[in-house]
Chains A and B, each alone.
Chain A
């Protein structure tokens, strides 16, 4: 592969994948909704699954994933600011 050191986007440099980044952005947008739509959207955000890694044919302890993104506190009344998670 070519060894260009083109500037990678900030989220890639921070170790996130594209889907991780888009997930966080989606959560931020859902947070901005007004009340009746906000609770409907919250149901589209529920994450629950249990994942277990395997090593040498043995299953390690499964971990239950419940939250999709780190909850960033909403900044009220500051419409112009950009939240960098």
Chain B
């Protein structure tokens, strides 16, 4: 509050506030630049990694509406905050998927990558969480790390269909939540008998001594690993882009707040000067007259 013994409204409070708002503005500007420089590096890697899963979609097609008993929703979120709303959108999509894919004979579980997703999903879906992973971005994301993680998931979680949910990076200001479906080899075989894109698999000749089911198994595992790699990179890009725009709007708001505080400060200062002047002048005129 105002310091003791002050005779008029003090400008000190306003001055303190202005100092702290200015500091916040500097920090958010710096964070935006850091995010921008990191984004440049990750963006090229993300665009290159898109070529990893495109052949799979060309070969096997995408079957988002497949109806299976055991669904596992792999939600990719970030560990750090201050990145706008991307984690909330991913969690919203995951929850909607969970509702869609649970039912009398079906069940659906979560595998969560990233702290932010875990914190949000723990609140209402504790019992459906199978596994959580964190500290993924300690070193830059590389394929080896994701492959080990994918291996871990495949070995520990039973699934008929894996649904990977992440934010796809379209541009610095646009990130769309996306879902990719990967079928387990058994379900893929069933679907291939039902026809559709996967049914065309039989048109391909298989070299070597392997059977179609073996190839499907290898393909399914490799597809999961590639999709997870691409998803992790796209989500990292989206996180950096969202952080850039969040920090940008925050520095702009801090600037606006600073302007308003400056006006208040000047008004208070001028009012106190006017009061002092009137006191002096009325005192002087009282002495004369």
Contact = CB atoms under 8 A, between A and B. Distances in A.
A49 B145 contact: yes
Given A27-B144, A46-B144, A49-B135, 18 more contacts: A1-B186, A4-B213, A6-B214, A8-B214, A12-B214, A17-B151, A18-B221, A19-B147, A19-B154, A20-B151, A45-B144, A46-B145, A49-B133, A49-B149, A50-B133, A50-B134, A54-B131, A57-B129
Contacts of B48: none
Interface magnitude class on chain A: 35 or more
Given A19-B222, A50-B134, A62-B134, A2 B152 contact: no
B44 interface: no
B127 A68 contact: no
Interface in A34-72: 43-54, 56-59, 62, 64-65, 68
Contacts of B154: 17, 19
Given A8-B214, A65-B148, A51 B142 contact: no
B225 A65 contact: no
A26 B189 CA distance: 29
Interface of B: 126-127, 129-136, 138-139, 142-145, 147-152, 154-156, 186, 189, 209-211, 213-214, 217-218, 221-222, 224-225
Contact of B144 (A7, A12, A47, A59): A47
Nearest to B157: A53
Contact of B209 (A7, A23, A45, A57): A7
Contacts of B143: 44
12 contacts: A1-B186, A6-B214, A18-B217, A19-B151, A27-B144, A44-B143, A48-B138, A48-B139, A49-B136, A51-B132, A52-B132, A65-B149
